[in-house]
């Protein structure tokens, strides 16, 4: 207890951890976030904020700041890898705003992270705290960190990502399945394109066994991002920081459209990671501990819904803890799981198939979701 109020520890100051702290703060519940990184850093990756995610950011109070930084694409195009023939031209821009009441934005992940960071007080986050152990007893949940510190909280929200120590402690070491594929990604200054004009400001190029997604991540279109997926049976390192060979990447897409080749020729360096798949978990909660985000429903990157679903989690979890939920954490956490699991399981399965939006698709079941108003069980 802290001044008579329950203490809640959040593990991980990523998108989900910061968002749930901001949501709980809006209803008068303060938290402490423990983050393993020594400080905030702008990691070079793009991210898509679809309308379901933007509703969360608006509710937190940072939607307008996001819109000032991000690129708002007029459409999302899907093309054949070599001919460039359109397979689906999905309207966004004003059309998306009219349909959903919020925009569809493309941005730098670091800019989103910074905006969320600004939504919580600086002293909420304790950097340099890598969790090494967790144990729930009669006096609360004890957290042990690699720096030697030991903390106790009444409840723990684990937003510690795809390699969650809390999940492994709760359920045993996970059984992840290597997909046989890897992804390359990077963001780089658009000036390196040397004046080359792309057909599209945002597009996914579909090949027989691989694809590449390309889009701008700033309102001024001065930074461009891409991410790929392609077969690779031998590389099995699931880390965003692994360095890739840009020449190997260019060779892998040598038969793609000139737009794709121009982007790959311009990029100075890349990172790569192996794509693993995970089955839905048997449970997300145990006692006064709950998982959220990638810790409990990690997704392949093919729908651009991983961060969006972590943001949705943050709102629904805060709603379950409101109105007396802190008097019975286990019940509130079970309600959260019951509210979210059917949707995240469906998104996981849809993303796994990697067909979303390839051809004409009605995405309302994804983009129309409103975490602030959806009925809770």
Closest listed residue to residue 356, CA positions, set 229, 240, 253, 231: 229
- CA–CA separation, 311 vs 197, rounded Å? 34
269's enclosing H/E stretch is none
- CA–CA separation, 94 vs 72, rounded Å? 9
Neighbours of 121 (CB within 10 A): 10
- In the set 34, 104, 215, 216, the catalytic residue is 215
Cα-based angle 13, 335, 8 (whole degrees, multiple of 5) = 35
The DSSP 8-state label assigned to residue 220 in this structure reads: T
Q: How many Cα atoms occupy the beta-carbon half-sphere of 105 within 13 Å?
A: 28
- 195 conformational bin, left if phi > 0, alpha if psi -120 to 50, beta if neither: left
* Structure-block tokens of residue 254: 């040598």
Is there a catalytic annotation at residue 215? yes
C-alpha R_g of the chain: 21
β-pairing, 202-206 vs 75-80, is: parallel
* Structure-block tokens of residue 92: 């966004």
φ/ψ of 90, rounded to 5, equals -95, 120
- Contact call for residues 80 and 87 (beta carbons, < 8 A): yes
* Structure-block tokens of residue 260: 């794709």
Please list the active-site residues: 215
């Amino acid at each position: 207890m802290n001044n008579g109020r329950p203490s809640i520890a959040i593990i991980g100051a990523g998108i989900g951890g910061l968002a749930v702290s901001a949501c709980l703060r809006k209803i008068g519940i303060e938290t402490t976030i423990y983050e393993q990184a020594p400080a905030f850093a702008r990691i070079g990756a793009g991210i898509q904020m679809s309308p379901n995610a933007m509703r969360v950011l608006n509710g937190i109070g940072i939607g307008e700041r996001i819109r000032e930084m991000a690129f708002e694409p007029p459409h999302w195009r899907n093309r054949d890898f070599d001919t460039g023939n359109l397979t689906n031209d999905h309207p966004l821009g004003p059309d998306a705003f009219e349909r959903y009441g919020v925009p569809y934005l493309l941005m730098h992940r670091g800019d989103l992270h910074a905006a969320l960071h600004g939504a919580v007080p600086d002293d909420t986050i304790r950097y340099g705290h890598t969790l090494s152990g967790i144990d729930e007893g009669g006096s609360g949940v004890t957290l042990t960190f690699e720096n030697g510190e030991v903390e106790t909280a009444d409840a723990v929200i684990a937003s510690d990502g795809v390699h969650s120590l809390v999940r492994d402690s709760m359920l045993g070491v996970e059984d992840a399945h290597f997909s046989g594929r890897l992804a390359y990604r990077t963001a780089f200054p658009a000036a390196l394109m040397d004046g080359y004009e792309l057909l599209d400001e945002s597009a996914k190029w579909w090949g027989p066994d691989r694809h590449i997604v390309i889009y701008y991540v700033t309102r001024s279109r001065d930074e461009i991002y891409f991410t790929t997926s392609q077969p690779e049976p031998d590389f099995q390192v699931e880390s965003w920081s692994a360095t890739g060979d840009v020449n190997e990447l260019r060779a892998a897409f040598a038969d793609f459209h000139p737009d794709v080749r121009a982007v790959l020729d311009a990029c100075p360096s890349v990172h790569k990671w192996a794509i693993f798949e995970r089955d839905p978990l048997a449970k997300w909660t145990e006692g006064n501990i709950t998982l959220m985000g990638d810790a409990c429903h990690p997704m392949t990157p093919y729908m651009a819904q991983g961060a969006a679903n972590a943001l949705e989690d943050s709102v629904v979890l805060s709603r379950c803890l409101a109105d007396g939920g802190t008097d019975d954490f286990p019940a509130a956490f079970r309600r959260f799981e019951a509210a979210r699991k059917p949707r995240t399981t469906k998104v996981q399965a849809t993303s796994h198939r990697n067909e979303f939006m390839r051809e004409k698709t009605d995405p309302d079941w994804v983009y129309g979701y409103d975490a602030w108003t959806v009925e809770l069980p």
